[in-house]
Structure 1
Amino acid sequence: MGRLVDVTALALVAGCGEPEAVGTATASFGSGTGAIDDGLETMVGWSGSSGWVTTGPDDPVGQCGDDPLCLPPSEMVPTDKPDGLPSPLPGVYDDLGPAAPDAGFRALIGFPTRQRALLEDRVALMYAPGSPLFRGYMTVEAWMAEHAPDPGDVGLVENWLRAQGFTIDFEAKNRLLVQFSGTVAGFNATFKTTLHVCLRKNPLWDDPPFPVYCTLDRFTLPKFVAERTNGLATADLPAEKGELTAEVGEIVADPPGPEAYGPRAFYGAYDMQPLFEAGFNGRGSSLGVVAAGTYHAIDLQIFWKSFGVVRALPKRIAVMEPVFERVTETALDVQWASAMAPGADVVVYEGPDARNTSLLFTWNHAIASNAVEVLTFSFAHREDSEPKPLRHQYDESALMGAALGMTLVSASGDSGKPDTPCSSPYVTCVGGTHLVASQEGVIEKEWAWQMSGSGPAKTFARPYWQDADVKLDRRAMADLALSSSTEAPMWMRRWAKWEYFGGTSFAAPAFAGMVAVINGHRRARGLPRVGFLNPILYGHAPTRATFRDIVYGFTEHYHAGPGWDYPTGLGAPDVALLALALP
């Protein structure tokens, strides 16, 4: 069963200073005195000097400003540039042939973070206890001044797109993305390619496949565009239009049976009850959900009422085109994230659909808004099915989130292989376990789930905080793991009835809610939000000791074992102890 912490260890008493872990706390919290070891001797990633100096904005475009017609012919030379569109992949993207020339498209062009190396150095120091920059998070204004893409570069590229006959639909708050649209014929002519329609396997259980655009060849961009951008990150069919159907039904308690786990099983298995009993339920913290479409509010309230959750409704923010459908993944994520942190404010960022254009822009928008402390994302796609520019554009946004002090959480996926955006080192990647426990979370046994998304990233280098655990030179996933097995599933309320499923889609929003509860506890103690978790999870010994090691089980490619492993990372969290241990 999970380790327990006496409620008094979490209570705030005036003049008492740091709370103490008592009862069954582990030796890493100190012996005899009950004090928490600061763990600085075992922390990695800080050399003792910041070494971070801003050099100010890059030089502007020059005398042409944002006028592409002013550029010399040498800037128009066609230049190969990798793109973020998928290619046909049997079983994932099935080619249906060329797209109709008169069909529409929407696409994202991505821009790089300015002075990225300096920002990465600064972020490393933000999360190294003892550093003079420790938890000195940036404001959005400071990030924009020092690291946002140059507005002249963005304006130049936008004006070039307009000159090709395209429409600029949306510009991201942080200028990392611009959405534009037009016809397939115009797209093919401008980028010297041919858009095809591929049928995309739906990553959501038995939901039907859906059409997306794909290509067989690499793209060509004018030299000045290739040099100023990360290239095309996505291109998709236009967002569909429609009317959101009215909700029906009464909000009543309708508890489901014992065939699957509800939130209380997670409260017990991951030791959240001591925090709740001490009055810490996420109040004062905020939690965001990246969504496609929206959810059924009546189903959500029945879910809460049936499991004894009392809380306020989320705030919904429409990010792009109007939302007209309700999506299973969105309903699941909102139900489980909100139930884990009943007192936290929840914001649901709603893109129009589950295609890459919507998901990437919505992810970036939620980060650039900096309105929540924790953000969860479960629309995972297998990493080897998504091109490098798309994966790396997710990472551009994630780095900004780390600099702002946001905790970004993603599902590791359910294929046994790595997913994106989990592969970004700036995302905390949540894998899956097979949990056998009572409805109150008394654990009988737990092992690695065989489909837990895991393995080495395709292109991201191994971050410094994994040096002691990972032999390969690439970012390794997962970082931790929670209950996900389809053989020991979780309840959700979907379309006016109870259904149960498995998948890391439950694990990620659940863990995000747990972090929101921890942030609420920290706020009450006068401490800042935890922000980017990974360096401290791996390198701060007292924090690392709060994870229950999962030593049994396997996926197709990897086995769980003592210490960190691919399927389950550092293991399963003891949330009460984690709240006390995080510096």
Structure 2
Amino acid sequence: MGRLGGVASRVAALALLSGCGEEEAVGSATESYTSGGSDTTDPGLETMGGWSGSSGWVTTGPEDPIGPCGSDPLCLPPGEMVPTEKPDGLPSPLPGVYDDQGPAPPDNQFRALIGFPTRQRGLLESRVALMYSSGPWFRRYMTVEAWMADHAPPENDVALVENWLRSRGFSIDFEAKNRLLVQFSGTVADFNATFQTELHICMRKNPLWEDPPFPVYCTLDRFTLPKFVAERTNGLCTADLPAEKGELSKEVGEVVSDPPGPEAYGPRVFYGAYNMHPLFDAGFTGKGSTLGIVAAGTYHSIDLQIFWKSFGIERELPTRVAVMEPVFERVTETALDTQWATAMAPGAATTVYEGPDARNTSLLFTWNHAIAENKVEVLTFSFAHREDSEPKPLRHQYDESALMGAALGMTLISASGDSGMPDTPCSSPYVTCVGGTRLIADPEGVIESEWAWVMSGSGPAKTFARPYWQDGDVTHDRRAMADLALHSSTEYPMWMRRWAKWEFFGGTSFAAPAFAGMIAVVNEHRRARGLPRVGYLNPTLYLHAPTRKTFRDIKYGATEHYKAGPGWDYPTGIGAPDMTALAQALP
């Protein structure tokens, strides 16, 4: 196992994965696990109330409600109502990203998410480290039931906060299965009065290059919460305009083969360049594997089937899961992700988790829901936002969910973004961050060259300390991105079928779903050998020498800020995968 086993000695004192109740002796609601000796005293490392210096929050509130009040906020003593500043998850105006349009009308409606911390977070991080190091607990994943029993936010804490929100005139719309998130809604006037702030409307630059900006709520000042709410929550993670309503238009057209021309790459280029053919030839297509896609809106199923038919792919349609408010629009990113993820794993059962739109409230809740359900082995996310444009509580709440996914044995994959800078949720150490290359290859994927793509999202995280598995590669004290890279260049774009016609684009939005599909095929290969699914990839990618050798080092090319070079580098991580070799090497 090489260096993969190195973490075991650091957490040997917490080797209590049996779930026999012993964790109470070593774990508490306030302890934390600091990864790899990271320098958490660095004054440049962002900190927050309740932030421990490890890769997530810690619970600061008591295990039980105060006194005899139970979940009744009206019975709490006055000291628990003291206004307490708490970081909020709403963006502030940022030129070129969030443009302030002034105060929101008081009678406007809103929907918002309040986040709750993982209970005994430090113990859970230690458990996860042991699950992915050599030893008796290697790949012994938790069940949802075990996670809920040991690490879910206390039911009474969630009920207390929900009842307080109701007492302020808000409606509770959705509660996450794992209790990490609650969506509530009401008027802007009540929001401003409750949180002692003023919502503004900002126009958000659309992550899709060709699409127009869209309105979101933003604030100029930090929120204030009652003390008992501030202590039991991570604060407000998001606040957005209400989800729009409408009817999803009917699909038209017939499913026909309509192969596009040579102007862009199709799936076969990826099959060849990343050595998928030997797996396919051996009969491995992802059958029996489960693949999930976090989506906004939905896709056009006729376009999807034409995409498959035109590239010689035969497979079943995905299962669609509406997570929140009803979906009424079709979204380019969702169509792209679905086409390319399913093309890489034609045998994998695929679930598309559909939130109502591409605003933070929908994306965060949908991401968390897909993880909490634990019905897919691999989950991909491509609605990346630049990390420095997103508030700290939002980044941390993505990480709360990602840690649960790692504990359950899920592989969480995110596009690194197309800004040349770090993105969210890639910055979470529990997410495998897929950067971009510029691949020149023939239609069968025979490679002429592969360099770092100039726009590959990459760099040191603002939010998270360097994890132990990057100690040997990264000198900075922050989590570093990317972890690996696949072709993303707009100079040599990829085909997608969009709104009854062929179009071509670039971006890591192709690389992430493609790699997710490839991992679904690897999971079928593992089952055939009697091995469990790969789960959380990052420790193995970095520390298991045979696995690492299956990646082609990308030595040339650069972003605006970082160059590729021998060994690990920011734009391309450990390099581009040989998927057949990776399937054989993974322990």
Quickly name the TM-score band, shorter chain normalised: over 0.9
* Structure 1 CA distance for aligned equivalents of residues 280 and 536 of structure 2: 24
The answer to whether the 8 Å contact 2:344/2:514 transfers is yes
Q: Does residue 121 of structure 1 match 2:126?
A: yes
Q: Does residue 502 of structure 1 match 2:506?
A: yes
Q: Secondary structure at the match of 1:46?
A: helix
Aligned to 1:80: 85
Aligned to 2:398: 394
* Structure 1 CA distance for aligned equivalents of residues 399 and 69 of structure 2: 31
Deviation at 1:60, TM superposition (A): 2.0
AA matched with 1:481: A
Name the CA shift for 1:280/1:139 in 2 (closer, same or farther; >3 Å): same
AA matched with 1:88: P
Q: Does residue 423 of structure 1 match 2:427?
A: yes
Aligned to 2:14: 51
Instruction: Provide structure 2 residue ranges, at least 5 long, that are not aligned to the other structure.
Output: 17-22, 30-62
* Structure 1 CA distance for aligned equivalents of residues 13 and 83 of structure 2: 42
Instruction: Provide structure 1 residue ranges, at least 5 long, that are not aligned to the other structure.
Output: 1-38
The answer to whether the 8 Å contact 1:188/1:194 transfers is yes
AA matched with 2:159: G
Q: Superposed, which structure 2 residues align to 1:186-335 within 5 Å?
A: 186-335=190-339
* Structure 2 CA distance for aligned equivalents of residues 360 and 409 of structure 1: 15
* Structure 1 CA distance for aligned equivalents of residues 374 and 288 of structure 2: 15
The answer to whether the 8 Å contact 1:52/1:118 transfers is no
Q: Does residue 460 of structure 1 match 2:460?
A: no
AA matched with 1:259: E
* 1:536-575 Cα distance to aligned partner (Å, 9 max, x none): 0000000000000000000000000000000000000000
* Structure 1 CA distance for aligned equivalents of residues 485 and 264 of structure 2: 18
* Structure 2 CA distance for aligned equivalents of residues 433 and 564 of structure 1: 14
Aligned to 2:51: none
* Higher deviation after alignment, 48-57 or 131-140: 48-57
* 1:441-487 Cα distance to aligned partner (Å, 9 max, x none): 00000000000000000020000000000000000000000000000
Aligned to 1:13: none
The answer to whether the 8 Å contact 1:43/1:536 transfers is no
* Structure 1 CA distance for aligned equivalents of residues 482 and 281 of structure 2: 31
The answer to whether the 8 Å contact 2:292/2:353 transfers is yes
Q: Secondary structure at the match of 1:44?
A: helix
The answer to whether the 8 Å contact 1:309/1:339 transfers is yes
Aligned to 1:476: 480
* Higher deviation after alignment, 561-570 or 42-51: 42-51
* Structure 2 CA distance for aligned equivalents of residues 414 and 156 of structure 1: 41
* Structure 1 CA distance for aligned equivalents of residues 512 and 360 of structure 2: 19
2:353 to 325, 337, 349: 349
Q: Superposed, which structure 2 residues align to 1:483-562 within 5 Å?
A: 483-562=487-566
Aligned to 1:20: none
AA matched with 2:370: A
* Structure 2 CA distance for aligned equivalents of residues 342 and 57 of structure 1: 45
Deviation at 1:525, TM superposition (A): 1.3
* Structure 1 CA distance for aligned equivalents of residues 577 and 87 of structure 2: 39
* Structure 2 CA distance for aligned equivalents of residues 303 and 205 of structure 1: 22
* Structure 2 CA distance for aligned equivalents of residues 524 and 205 of structure 1: 42
* Structure 2 CA distance for aligned equivalents of residues 459 and 105 of structure 1: 27
Aligned to 1:566: 570
Percent identity over the alignment is 81
Deviation at 1:51, TM superposition (A): 2.1
Aligned to 1:89: 94
* Structure 2 CA distance for aligned equivalents of residues 436 and 57 of structure 1: 53
Aligned to 1:27: none
Q: Secondary structure at the match of 2:162?
A: helix
Q: How many residues are aligned here?
A: 544
The answer to whether the 8 Å contact 1:43/1:541 transfers is no
2:171 to 167, 173, 178: 167
Deviation at 1:44, TM superposition (A): 3.1
* 1:91-122 Cα distance to aligned partner (Å, 9 max, x none): 00000000010000000000000000000000
The answer to whether the 8 Å contact 1:405/1:532 transfers is yes
The answer to whether the 8 Å contact 2:115/2:180 transfers is yes
* 1:315-363 Cα distance to aligned partner (Å, 9 max, x none): 0000000000000000000000000000000000000000000000000
* Structure 1 CA distance for aligned equivalents of residues 3 and 513 of structure 2: 33
TM-score (normalised: structure 1): 0.92
* Structure 1 CA distance for aligned equivalents of residues 373 and 382 of structure 2: 19
Deviation at 1:43, TM superposition (A): 4.2
* 1:3-48 Cα distance to aligned partner (Å, 9 max, x none): xxxxxxxxxxxxxxxxxxxxxxxxxxxxxxxxxxxx3356432218
Deviation at 1:50, TM superposition (A): 5.8
Deviation at 1:132, TM superposition (A): 1.4
* 1:391-414 Cα distance to aligned partner (Å, 9 max, x none): 000000000000000000000000
Name the CA shift for 1:548/1:99 in 2 (closer, same or farther; >3 Å): same
The answer to whether the 8 Å contact 1:57/1:146 transfers is no
AA matched with 2:480: A
TM-score (normalised: structure 2): 0.92
The answer to whether the 8 Å contact 1:402/1:532 transfers is yes
Q: Secondary structure at the match of 2:8?
A: coil
Q: Does residue 99 of structure 1 match 2:61?
A: no
The answer to whether the 8 Å contact 1:50/1:125 transfers is no
Aligned to 2:19: none
The answer to whether the 8 Å contact 1:75/1:222 transfers is yes
Q: Secondary structure at the match of 2:383?
A: coil
2:160 to 156, 167, 173: 156
* Structure 2 CA distance for aligned equivalents of residues 257 and 46 of structure 1: 52
* Structure 1 CA distance for aligned equivalents of residues 247 and 3 of structure 2: 58
AA matched with 2:243: A
Q: Secondary structure at the match of 1:45?
A: helix
The answer to whether the 8 Å contact 1:399/1:426 transfers is yes
* Structure 2 CA distance for aligned equivalents of residues 233 and 400 of structure 1: 18
Deviation at 1:526, TM superposition (A): 1.2
Q: Secondary structure at the match of 2:93?
A: coil
* Structure 2 CA distance for aligned equivalents of residues 386 and 491 of structure 1: 30
Deviation at 1:61, TM superposition (A): 1.5
* Structure 1 CA distance for aligned equivalents of residues 84 and 14 of structure 2: 36
Q: Does residue 137 of structure 1 match 2:141?
A: yes
* Structure 1 CA distance for aligned equivalents of residues 123 and 281 of structure 2: 43
Q: Secondary structure at the match of 1:125?
A: helix
* 1:367-423 Cα distance to aligned partner (Å, 9 max, x none): 000000000000000000001000000000000000000000000000000000000
Aligned to 1:66: 71
Deviation at 1:57, TM superposition (A): 8.6
The answer to whether the 8 Å contact 1:320/1:351 transfers is yes
The answer to whether the 8 Å contact 1:166/1:182 transfers is yes
Q: Does residue 40 of structure 1 match 2:5?
A: no
AA matched with 2:6: V
* Structure 1 CA distance for aligned equivalents of residues 491 and 110 of structure 2: 40
* Structure 1 CA distance for aligned equivalents of residues 3 and 503 of structure 2: 48
The answer to whether the 8 Å contact 2:464/2:479 transfers is yes
Name the CA shift for 1:42/1:142 in 2 (closer, same or farther; >3 Å): closer
